[in-house]
Amino acid sequence: MKFSNFCISFFIIFFAAVSEAASIQLPGNSLSDTRFGFFIFGDSYVDAGNNNYIITTSDFQANFPPYGESFFPNRIATGRFTDGRNIPDFLGEYANLPLIPPYLDPHNDLYDYGVNFASGGGGALALSHQEQAIGLQTQMVFFRKVVKSLRNKLGHARSRSFLSNSVFLFNFGGNDYLNPFDISYDIFKTIEAQEQYVNMVVGNITIAIKEVYKYGGRKFGVLAVPPLGYMPSSRLKKSAQFFEESSSIARIHNKFILIALEKLSKQLKGFKYTLADVHTALLQRIQNPTKYGFKVVDTACCGSDEFRGVYNCGRKDFGSLPYTHCQNLEDHMFFDSFHPTQKVFKQLADEFWSGDVDIVKPLNFKQLFSCDDSTLASY
């Protein structure tokens, strides 16, 4: 989850194996012409491997084992921060799209089905893991370049129609809120301080959504911030103050982002949205694990120390602190100290695709992808 306004040329480093994995096509999907795509902005919950191509530390990469151990068909690390696929991978499959490749993959310049701009460590605020990951502002720079490329290839009218029928997924907030806690727990000691900070985060997301709308985007999906106090890394802190403040700010964010989306739907003609409640969905599994097929919800599969809460899964630059790996991956909710397993991501994607308003509202992603109103392309 970490980078801001570095020179674009500084990003490119070539990883052939990851590029090959990113181009894998899901069974049953044809590469015929399509009239819509899937564009992803965000952090490590939705990153498809952009951080493989930037200069950063291993904290912000996942292109090494045991990451990818469940990733089809070759079980290789792709840069996704889990053992396999993540939420947008499954949503794209259900929309009959191939895997959406990372923008920085040097072999990716067509954008026929969209593109993934997300970066592990990225935040909506420029200072969130600055110079270590690709933040929202830089992701928007990439988006503008893609729009220009699409216009050159398709022409203005066809490219705008393509964008108006595409779905744009945003997932930001986690890094923006967790990063300040590394400085002091007292930063978010009052509700007023939390609300002021959330307003900045939500404000930046709103600005980005409005810009995508200006270029023709009409269908937007947003993932809520997860319950930050329940991650294995958070449990390791054993701080009641951290738990209370991180849990509170996540709830405030999810409330404010819904209000912002509701306002946009009233202000912008043809604007459609869905808010997927990652927060509630994960809490349901933490509080009732056996219902969802889990046995271990507090301890990661991969990491070290209590709860395997130390974020050193597969990483070799943690000195003498080795990581351990579970023998029963399917029993675990969390793969590493921060990120759920592929099993969790698939369950969430299933609910977000066809679930009701208790978990995804006002539309689910199936409805959002299939929405084809003549007002969408108007401007």
* Catalytic center residues: 44, 336, 339
The β-bridge partners of 168 are: 39, 220
Look up residue 121 and give its two tokens: 């460590």
The β-bridge partners of 41 are: 170
Identify whether 322 is preceded by a cis peptide bond (ω within 30 of 0): no
Report the distance separating Cα 300 and Cα 334, nearest Å: 5
Pairing of strands 360-362, 272-276: antiparallel
Report the distance separating Cα 161 and Cα 148, nearest Å: 14
Q: Where are the beta strands (DSSP E) in the chain?
A: 38-42, 114-116, 167-171, 219-223, 272-276, 302-303, 324-325, 360-362
Beta-carbon contacts of 43 under 8 Å, excluding residues fewer than 6 positions away, are 1, 118, 119, 120, 121, 122, 123, 133, 171, 172, 174, 175
